[in-house]
Amino acid sequence: MQFTLAWDPAVLTYSSLADFNHSAATTELFFFGETNFNLDNVSDGYFTVLYEQILAADATVADGETIFSVTFDVVGATGSSSEVSFTDDPTLRKLASFGGAAPDLKTVNATISIGTSEQPGGSTGDGADNTNQAPTLALVDPNVATHEAGTAWQDPGATATDAEDDDAALTSAIVVTGSVNKDTLGTYTLTYDVTDSGGLDAQSISRTVIVEDTIAPEISLNGAPTISHPVGVAFTDTGAVAND
C-alpha cells in the first residue's frame, strides 16, 4: 500500500505521527510505523507512505480501524483553510494483493478550516480554533488626564474589539465604574469593562483623572478705579467682584 498525503503548509504544519497499528498477526498490518513514512518534505506540505507486507499474506483491516494518525499545528489566519488530501504526487495511491488483482484504494479527503473543521463525508464540527476569544479594551486618549476644576468633565471613553462580536455594539456596552467630581480637587479613577456575547470578560482598563485648579481668580472693581471724595464726608467703598 502506498500513497501521498498533502496539505497547505501556509495553513498547517506537520507536528507528529501516532496511533500505529502494530499487530504481529500474519493477516494484519505488521510493523506499520513511522519508518513507513518519508517525512523529508513535510515543510512543503506532504509526506509519502510505502507499506510493504513482509509476510506473504494479505492484510485485513477492520472497518473504522485506525492504522495511523497525524497531528498538525495551525499557522494560518482565521478564515483560512487547507484540504488534507490523498494524492498521487509524487507517490501514486496503490494497493497490491498476493492473491490476485489489486483492490481499489478508495480515499476520502477533508478540509480543515480555522474556526470549523469539515469531517470526511461533509459533516462539520467545532475546530480547535473556534473557541470564543475574550474582547480587548483600549482607552481613547491617554490613561492619565488633568481636568480644570469647576468645568464639566467629558469622558473620552474606550473602545472594544472582539473576534466574534460587532466592535461598535460591544463598545456601546462598555460599563464605566467610578466618577469625577469637578468641584472637588483630587485624583479619581475610572474603570472600563465589557463582557461579550459568549460571556467572556475583557481585561479591565483604568483612567486616572486629576482635578486641579490652574486658573487664578480675577478681581474687577465696582465703579471707577479713580474717584474724588469730599473732605469730611463718610466714604463708602463700592467694593470689587472676584471671579474664579
pLDDT in tens, 36-52: 789 999 999 999 988 77
pLDDT tens digits for range 162-186: 988 899 999 999 999 999 999 999 9
The closest alpha carbon to 132, from 107, 162, 155, belongs to 162
Sheet strands (E) in the chain: 2-6, 12-18, 37-38, 46-50, 69-74, 81-87, 110-113, 116-118, 124-126, 136-139, 144-148, 158-161, 175-177, 186-193, 205-212, 218-221, 240-243
Please check whether residue 57 is in contact with residue 27, taking contact to mean a CB–CB distance below 8 angstroms: yes
> Would the pTM of this model clear 0.85, i.e. be above it?
no
Residues 224 and 184: their CA atoms lie apart, in Å, by 35
Residue that has been written with the C-alpha cell 504526487 in this structure: 89
C-alpha grid cell, residue 146: 488633568
Domains of the chain are: 2-130 (2.60.40), 132-244 (2.60.40.10)
pLDDT tens digits for range 92-129: 888 776 666 677 778 889 888 887 544 555 444 544 44
C-alpha grid cell, residue 162: 472582539
Contacts for 114 with CB less than 8 Å, ≥ 6 apart: 11, 74, 76, 77, 78, 79, 80, 81, 127, 129
Residues 127 and 183: their CA atoms lie apart, in Å, by 55
